[in-house]
Chains A and B, each alone.
Chain A
Amino acid sequence: MEKRVTFRGWLLPILLIAPQVIISAVFFFYPAGQAIWQSLFIPDPFGLSSQFVGFGNFEFLLSDKFYRKSFLTTAIFSILVTLCSMIPALFLAVIADRLIKGSGVYRTMLIWPYAVAPAVAGVLWLFMFNTRVGVVSWYLGQLGYDWNHVLNGGEAMGLVVVASAWGRISYNFLFFFAALQSVPRSVIEAAAIDGAHFWRRFFGIVLPLITPTAFFLLVVNVVYAFFETFGVIHTITAGGPQQSTTILVYKVFSDGFVGQDLGSSSAQSVILLVVVGLLTVIQFKYVEKRVHY
């Protein structure tokens, strides 16, 4: 879509668009270009010179068992975060949708966690499951379960998943709730008259109608799990134990900043660029015509 009526001149629009273009160029394109360029080199240990290695860094990465493991970790993590945030959200939204009065109050309460930063959420959950002072871990101990996410990789993964999914429940709830509210009542009533009970109506009518929203949320939550959960992992596990919670984004950080391995970190950035690119394309291609609010 284009405007029919436009203003004349070319200097003014260039000046108007300049701030955004300059900032994008300096802080987005140049660094991204640098990442691609650096991914083709291996710097010497003193950072004085670097040697061109072509796709050497990539070949090394793809054969590196830690990197492959990080891919797998990221996949498991993203799937779990998505499931743990979407299912409870849908459940709550379905219940809230049945209420005529009071759903506003519940909604207000439920959006709180969205405002809590992932890193702060990490601290809250760490506090509950802290091996020394955590309330939940203490009660688990009373029940005979010895919780220790510092040593146990599976428990560490469980904790970062729950802490990451927690704030997203609010977000998903809002979208599911809006979608459910827009399902025409007449359709549901008609089914009810035909004698379809609640679950029958839910799976037969409501769920298909909100599928576009669910699919949209699926993509958005995967993107979130990939790129926005750094704070949770950094505060709770710092990628451990034995790299069992080192997702790809965390590895770029730990190899680049902590390990100072610039070539490898840049190559990882480039791989992530491809991943974001794919996810963005999916988002635009399939999610465009999704909801009818």
Chain B
Amino acid sequence: MAQQHGMVEKRGLGIWMTHAFMILGVLVIFFPIWLAFVASTVTQPEIVKPPMPLWPGDQFWENYSRALFSGVNVPVATMLFNSLVMAIGIAVGKIIISLLSAFAIVYFRFPGRQTFFWMIFITLMLPVEVRIVPTFEVVAGFGMLNSYYGLIFPLIASATATFLFRQFFLTIPDELAEAARVDGARPMRFFWDIVVPMSRTNIAALFVILFIYGWNQYLWPLLITTDPEMNTIVMGIKQMFPSGDDVAEWPVIMATSILAMIPPVIVVVSMQKLFVRGLVDSEK
């Protein structure tokens, strides 16, 4: 790489300038997160008398344990658990139903195949935001308000994942299916022994993207979880602000904000390669 860059790569002052710009950029982008972290480690009086400090205080355990175990309406630990169930439910559910339907579309010829394919395609055009009221009524009709089913099912059908798997299955050599057929293997055996293992990387990359998608949902949990016990953390933060003139409990709210971003950040940063791949794949 170094030789290739050689000619156009700046040296000396230039390279330091470049690093300086980059660091400045990172600092600006990072500032909101830093400030939230600082606020989660100081006392309420330190915040309500501006300007608040810009360096962490000593109330870390105090604020985080208060948030986790008592919270404002409901312990944040409960909301974290709900978010985890929802995010994993959506990610795993989407992957399973998409794997199955993509397998059916690619490896079989059956009546209505085209119709079903288009039907799945069109769901791309129906984000939850444009069908909120009727979808809410459907979920209420099933008695799924304030339940994990209600949080997960309406968001679980994904055209994107189905297309991604379809695309990938089409690249699996025909010889493999041929061999399986000659050996008299049943389709589902071929699916489990060949197709799923070969899709491992795609599944993992998609899991990262879908986990974050599920975790970061806001509007849908806001509509269907009226019981604070079922709130997810991302929608629950807003519920912690008092209505009227009371002063918000900023240290607890900011500790909750930090807790809300930790799981997706860990997933993104620790699986960075898969994440970037999933991002690029799922937008294709």
Name A's B-contacting residues (CB within 8 A): 1, 3-7, 9-10, 12-14, 16-17, 19-21, 23-32, 34-35, 38, 88, 91-92, 95-96, 98-100, 102, 106-121, 123-125, 127-128, 132-135, 138-139, 166, 169-171, 174-175, 178, 185, 188-189, 192-193, 198, 201, 216, 220, 227, 230-231, 234-235, 249, 252-253, 256-257, 262, 265-266, 269, 272-273, 276-277, 280, 293
In whole angstroms, what is the CA distance A53 to B39 when docked? 54
What sequence of 0s and 1s flags, for each residue 1-39 of chain B, a beta carbon within 8 Å of any chain A beta carbon?
110110111100001001101100110011011011001
B244 at the interface (CB under 8 A from A): no
Find chain A residues with CB under 8 A from B137 CB.
31, 34
B153 engages A123 (CB within 8 Å): no
B153 engages A23 (CB within 8 Å): yes
Quick one: which of B48, B106, B130, B275 contacts A269, CB cutoff 8 A? B130
B129 engages A6 (CB within 8 Å): no
A23 engages B97 (CB within 8 Å): yes
B91 at the interface (CB under 8 A from A): no
B98 engages A20 (CB within 8 Å): yes
The 7 closest A-B pairs by CB, nearest first: A117-B216, A34-B134, A31-B134, A231-B218, A13-B108, A115-B264, A16-B104
User: Which one of B61-69, B74-82, B231-239 contacts A?
Assistant: B231-239
B199 at the interface (CB under 8 A from A): no
Quick one: which of B26, B101, B190, B257 contacts A17, CB cutoff 8 A? B101
B contact residues, total (Cβ < 8 Å): 107
**A-B residue pairs in contact (CB < 8 Å), sample of 21:** A7-B187, A13-B107, A13-B110, A16-B101, A28-B126, A30-B134, A31-B135, A102-B19, A106-B26, A112-B268, A113-B29, A117-B264, A120-B234, A120-B257, A124-B35, A124-B36, A135-B35, A171-B279, A227-B127, A234-B218, A273-B130
In whole angstroms, what is the CA distance A280 to B19 when docked? 39
* B interface SS class: helix
Name B's A-contacting residues (CB within 8 A): 1-2, 4-5, 7-10, 15, 18-19, 21-22, 25-26, 29-30, 32-33, 35-36, 39, 47-48, 50-52, 54, 96-98, 100-101, 103-113, 116, 119-120, 123-127, 129-139, 153-154, 156-157, 162, 169-170, 174, 177-178, 181, 187-188, 190, 212, 215-219, 222-223, 234-235, 237-238, 247, 250, 253-254, 257, 260-261, 264-265, 267-269, 272, 275-276, 279-280, 283
A192 engages B7 (CB within 8 Å): yes
Most chain B beta-carbon neighbours within 10 Å: one of A3, A216, A220, A230: A3
Quick one: which of B104, B106, B135, B280 contacts A27, CB cutoff 8 A? B135
Closest-CB distance, B53 to chain A (whole angstroms): 9
Find chain B residues with CB under 8 A from A38 CB.
133-134
Quick one: which of B22, B39, B174, B235 contacts A96, CB cutoff 8 A? B22
A128 engages B8 (CB within 8 Å): no
Most chain B beta-carbon neighbours within 10 Å: one of A92, A107, A125, A192: A92
B101 engages A27 (CB within 8 Å): no
Find chain B residues with CB under 8 A from A113 CB.
29, 33
In whole angstroms, what is the CA distance A118 to B218 when docked? 8
A3 engages B106 (CB within 8 Å): yes
A128 engages B32 (CB within 8 Å): yes
